Amino acid sequence: MGNEPLFLGKPVRPLVLGGGSWGTALAFHLASKGLPVTLWVRDETLCAMISSDRENRVYLPGAIFPKSLDVTSNIEKSLSEASFIVLAIPCQGVRETMKTLSSLGAPRLPIVSGTKGIEQKSLRMVSEIVSECYLSDPDQYAVLSGPSFAKEVVRNSPTAVVVASRSQVMAKETQSLFNTNYFKVYTRADVKGLEICGALKNVIALAAGISDGMGLGANSRAALLTRGLAEMTRLGVALGANATTFSGLGGVGDLYLTATGEQSRNRTVGVRLGRGEKLEDILRDLGQVAEGVTTAQSAHMLALGHGVDLPVTRAVYRLLYEEASLVEVLRDVMDRPMKDEEEF
């Protein structure tokens, strides 16, 4: 017992919320270090299947679970046995889940969030939702983000990510917990910046995919990514984030991966939109959440509220929510007034 690893002074008992590809990958990663991990899967049928197969054949096939990884659909029991939570559910479900946890009356646990996105109705970041519904102490919250496909994480492919927390202790302990010789973890203090990066990069990845689907070429993709990063930074700074966060792993790193990687759901949706397919058909085939679709609307509304110009995001929003044509949104982006690049 004396050598048992600790997290914030307590024995490490991670509870990972979310049975999708990313939640499964994070649970797998921690269990691979020999830690006793519980993966909570909301869907009881999927939970039973994963428990029986010792593998998530629906969302992350091929990754056979370590012995120390347990799977459950009983949130109350698993919460009572956990020492901290790893959040890996779709953004639009965070509020409901946090309210459920709060209603159970168990002690509030620290949270490491791997969820990306902006809540549609409230325009809140994940940290803000958690603060409203569950955790009163922001020093107990960290966000983990960066260029990391789930399939490559479970294959032990060399990966680098970043964890941000207002508390240096929380950031350093989360770093130590997740870091391995193939999963390098850096730290930051800019929670808001890292969350904005993780949300908006999905919208820019949609735009890059649309460009590729239309066959516009490498020049177009490079322009979209560069100007897209600029508008991500503009909105972030307007919301109080640090501009340097956007040039790091959680910003340009995650943007590049999501906009160019063949495993990217958001890029895939964009490519098919660019080929003229209907969004509802694409999402039905995908079978998983592409956060960029909802984030395009949330980011557009945030930009309007703060007077920030997001031309690439606005183009994606118009295509998805105003039924604008591909030709119209392309013209909107390319017909903008001439300006100095230094204007950002």
295-318 b/e (C-beta count within 10 Å ≥ 16 → b): bbbbbbebbeeeebebbbbbbbbb
Is 201 a residue of the active site? yes
114 annotated as ligand-binding: no
| Residue 339 annotated as part of some ligand binding site | no
Q: Is 22 annotated as a binding residue?
A: yes
Task: Determine if residue 278 is labeled as part of a ligand binding site.
Answer: no
Please calculate the CA angle 203-153-56 and round it to the nearest 5 degrees: 90
To the question of whether residue 148 is assigned a binding role by annotation, the answer is yes
Q: Is 59 annotated as a binding residue?
A: yes
* Residue 186 marked as a ligand binder: no
Q: How far apart are CA 324 and CA 317, in angstroms?
A: 9
Q: Is 321 annotated as a binding residue?
A: no
Residue 116 annotated in ligand binding: yes
Q: Is 266 annotated as belonging to a binding site?
A: yes
Annotated binding residue 184: no
Q: Tell whether 291 is in a known binding site.
A: yes
Residues 6+ apart with CB under 8 A from 67: none
Q: Is 23 annotated as a binding residue?
A: yes
157 labelled ligand-binding: no
Out of 77, 99, 201, 339, pick the active-site residue: 201
In order of 3, 41, 339, the CA distances from 334 in angstroms are 61, 45, 12
Annotated binding site for substrate: 116, 265-266
Annotated binding site for NAD(+): 18-23, 150, 265
Catalytic residue annotation: 201
Annotated binding site for NADPH: 21-22, 42, 59, 116, 150, 265, 289, 291
